[in-house]
Structure 1
Amino acid sequence: MRNDSATPVDTATTGVTIPPPSYPVQVDGKLDQPLSRWLWLVKWLLLVPHYVVLIPLWLGFVVATAIAFFGILITGRYPPALFAYTVGVLRWSWRVHYYGYAGLGTDRYPPFTLADVPDYPARLRIAYPEHLSRGLVLVKWWLLALPHYLIVALFAGGGLWFGASDNDAGFDWAAGGLVGVLVVLAGLILLFSGRYPRELHEFVVGLDRWVLRVAAYGALMTDRYPPFRIDLGATESTAPVGDTPPPVRPVWTPGRTVAMVAGALFALVAIGPLTAGAGVLWLNTTQRDASGYVATSTVDLHTQGHAITEEAVAIRDDLDWLSGAVGDVRLVVTASDPATPVFVGVGPEPDVRRYLDGVARAEVGQADSNELVTVDVPGGPPPTPPGDQEFWLASSEGAGTRNLDWRLHDGVWTVVAMNADGSSPVSVDVRAAARLPALPWIGGGLLALSGLMLAAGAALLAGSIRRASSD
C-alpha cells in the first residue's frame, strides 16, 4: 500500500517530516534496537563471505549495465531481466553496507540473495521505467551525473561506492568519507553508551540514500535526475506497519546468477586475447621493414671501455621450436661517429668471456622493470682486435651501419659490439630485429581464442537472461 498524495508524512517518533516517496529509488534503513556494543568491531571479518560473493556479482553488474546501455539506445527500454539483476546487486550491497560500516544500523546478518527481503531493516526498491530516453543514455552516466559524483566522493570517501576501492576486499565505499566518519562516531557512542543516537542514524541513512540514488542514475536505471537534498528518515515507505507485500518468486535463481557471472567473466577476459591478437596482427602487417624484419626501437649505448656486451642468452635443446617461431635474427649496429669502423659479433659465452677477461667493458642487462641496466667492468684493452678471433658464430665489421644476421641455436651466446681495432671509447646505436614468421599464427590464434570465449560468454549471458525473462 502506498500513499501517493501530496500530504507530507509525519514521523511521530522523530518529529522529522518526510515527503511522500516520489523519486523512483526508495531506500530504507530501519534502526534495530538494541544493538550489540562490540559486534561492530568485528563486522569487517564477518562480512568477508559477502565480499567474496559480491566481487563477481559486480562483474556481472558491469556487463549487464553495458548490455542495457545498447538496449536503451536501440529500443528505449531497459531489459527487464537485466534490470532485476542490477537492482538485486544494488539491494544486496545496500544490505551488506547497512549491516557494516555504512550504517551499523542492524545486527541481523544480511541474507545471501538478490531478491527483496521485506522484513530486513535495509531495503532498496527501484521502480522499473517503462521508457528511457535514447539521448540521455549517452550523457547522463558521465556528464550529467558529474556534479553528483563530486558530492558522493565527499560522502563516500574517494569515489562511488560501487567503484574500485583501495583495498583487496572492494566495496569499502564508506572509508574516509563523511559517512565513514559518522558511522565510526556512532560505533564509539554505541560502545560506551549502548545506544545509537536516532538523529545521527537518520542523517547517515540520508547520506546513504543520496549515494544510492546517484548509483541508480549512473547505472542507467532511471531518467529522473537525483535531487540535491538529504532526505532524512529511516524509511521512505508509507505502508502501515505490518503491511508486508506478498512474496514474489525470484527471477534470478542461484543457477541463473552463476551463469550470468560466468558469462560476464568470459566476456571480460576475452578482451585480453582480443586486444593482444589485434596488436600482433597490426605489428605483423605494418611494422615490417623492406627486408621483412620487425625491429625494436633504437638504443644508444656508450662506454669508456673497449667493448659492450649483452647478457648471455641461453637456448636449451627443448626450445628448438623457438628458432622456427623467431626466424632469422638481425642486430643493426651503427657507430655514433660514421667514420669509425665497428665490429659486432655473437659467440659462445665461454669463449667470449675468456677473450674479454681483464678487458674494460660495459655489460648490458635488463632489470625487473625491463629497463636496460649497464654495469661497467674495469680493465684494459683486448689482446687482439675482435675480428682476429675465430669463435664467432656470426659477425660483421666495417664503417657505417652493420647488420649481424644469425639463427637461434641451442647453447649459451653473448653478443659483443666493439670498435674494429679494439680501441676505446665505444659509442653505438643498436636495434634488434627478427623475421617472426609465427606472428600471423599467434595473432590468429589469439583472435580465435577470444572468439570462443566471447561465444561462450554470450551463450551463458543469453541463456540466463532468457530464462529470467521468461519469468
Structure 2
Amino acid sequence: MSNQVKTLVKIKHKDRNRKTVFFRGIIAFPAIIFVATFAQSSFSESESWAAGTAGVVALPTLLALVFRGKYPSYVLTFNHAVVELSTRLAAYVLILNDKYPSIEANSKVAVLFPDVEGGKKLNRVLPLVKWFLAIPHYIVGAIYLVISLVVTVIAWVQTSITGRYPEWAGEIVLGTIAYWNRVQGYMLLLVTDKYPTFRLK
C-alpha cells in the first residue's frame, strides 16, 4: 500500500451530457453548500479550532497523536469520508465526469489513506511542524490550481460544444486534485509522515 494519500477518479471523456456540463456551476451549487457546511466548526466560533478548510477534524487529531500516540479510528473514518466527499464534488465541478456528487461513497471516485495502524506508524512530534514543512507545497499547489482552473475553462468550452472531454485536461485537473489530497494528507489529516511529492501524479 502507498504511504501517501492516493486519489482515483474515473474520468468520462466521451458521450458527455453537454447540458449539464454547460450549466455545471449552477447544478453543483446545492452540493457545494452541503460540503461547505462541514467546514463549520462544532467546537468553537473559530473554524481553525476543530475543523480545517475541508471540514476535517484536525486539532483533536494532532493532540491525540502528540500526547497519546494514537489516531482515533472514529476521527479517521470521518476525515476519510469528508475528503472523499470533497473529491467527488471537485471531480464534478471541474467536469471530470457527469456523476452528481453523492453523499455516500461510490466506485467512480476514491481516496485511499495509508494504514496508520491506529497511529503506531506515525511520529508523535512531526505533526507540530508539518504545516511549516509543507509551505513550499502551498506555493506549488497554488500554481497548479490556477493552471487547472484555466484548463477547466478551456475543457468546459470544448466539452459543451463537442460532448468530448479532452484527455490532456483530465491529466492536469486530476493531478491537481491528487496533489492537494496528498498535501492535505500530510499536513492536515496527518495520515502519513512521508513528505508529499511535487509531481501531479
With the shorter chain as reference, the TM-score category is: 0.7 to 0.9
Aligned pairs for 1:337-356 (under 5 A) are none
Structure 2 CA distance for partners of 1:140 and 1:45, relative to 1, 3 Å: same
Find the counterpart in structure 2 of residue 155 from structure 1.
144
Cα distance in 2 for partners of 1:52, 1:126 equals 25
Find the counterpart in structure 2 of residue 228 from structure 1.
198
Segments of structure 1 that go 5 or more residues without pairing to the other structure are 5-21, 157-176, 232-471
Aligned pairs for 1:174-213 (under 5 A) are 177-213=146-182
Alignment check: 8 A CA contact 2:16 2:163 kept: yes
Report Cα offsets for 1:78-127 as digits up to 9, x if no partner. 211101111111110100110112xx1111111113xx32x2x2221212
Find the counterpart in structure 2 of residue 40 from structure 1.
21
Find the counterpart in structure 1 of residue 124 from structure 2.
134
Alignment check: 8 A CA contact 1:83 1:128 kept: no
Report Cα offsets for 1:243-292 as digits up to 9, x if no partner. xxxxxxxxxxxxxxxxxxxxxxxxxxxxxxxxxxxxxxxxxxxxxxxxxx
Say if 2:66 is the partner of 1:86: no
Structure 2 CA distance for partners of 1:188 and 1:23, relative to 1, 3 Å: farther
Give the aligned CA root-mean-square deviation in angstroms: 1.7
Which of 184, 187, 194 is matched with 1:215 structurally? Answer: 184
Report how far residue 77 of structure 1 moved.
2.1
Amino acid at match of 1:24: Q
Find the counterpart in structure 2 of residue 28 from structure 1.
8
Amino acid at match of 1:226: P
- Of stretches 72-81 and 91-100 in structure 1, the one that deviates more from structure 2 is 72-81
Structure 1 length as normaliser, TM-score? Answer: 0.37
Amino acid at match of 2:111: L
Q: How many residues align?
A: 184
Find the counterpart in structure 2 of residue 255 from structure 1.
none
Segments of structure 2 that go 5 or more residues without pairing to the other structure are 42-50
Report Cα offsets for 1:376-434 as digits up to 9, x if no partner. xxxxxxxxxxxxxxxxxxxxxxxxxxxxxxxxxxxxxxxxxxxxxxxxxxxxxxxxxxx
Report how far residue 74 of structure 1 moved.
0.8
Greater share of helix residues, 1 or 2? 2
Aligned pairs for 1:38-437 (under 5 A) are 38-60=19-41, 61-62=51-52, 64-101=57-94, 104-113=95-104, 116-117=105-106, 119=107, 121-130=108-117, 131=120, 132-141=122-131, 143-156=132-145, 177-219=146-188, 220-231=190-201
Structure 2 CA distance for partners of 1:39 and 1:230, relative to 1, 3 Å: same
Report how far residue 178 of structure 1 moved.
1.1
Cα distance in 2 for partners of 1:190, 1:27 equals 23
Cα distance in 2 for partners of 1:45, 1:230 equals 28
Report how far residue 189 of structure 1 moved.
1.3
Report Cα offsets for 1:172-219 as digits up to 9, x if no partner. xxxxx1111111111111122221122321232112211111111121
SS in 2 for 1:99: helix
SS in 2 for 1:28: strand
Amino acid at match of 2:184: A
Report Cα offsets for 1:294-344 as digits up to 9, x if no partner. xxxxxxxxxxxxxxxxxxxxxxxxxxxxxxxxxxxxxxxxxxxxxxxxxxx
Structure 2 CA distance for partners of 1:193 and 1:51, relative to 1, 3 Å: closer
Greater share of strand residues, 1 or 2? 1
Report Cα offsets for 1:34-92 as digits up to 9, x if no partner. 21223222222222222222222123543721111100111222211101111111110
Find the counterpart in structure 2 of residue 453 from structure 1.
none
Cα distance in 2 for partners of 1:30, 1:55 equals 24
Cα distance in 1 for partners of 2:73, 2:172 equals 33
Amino acid at match of 2:78: Y
Q: Alignment identity in percent?
A: 27
Larger radius of gyration: 1
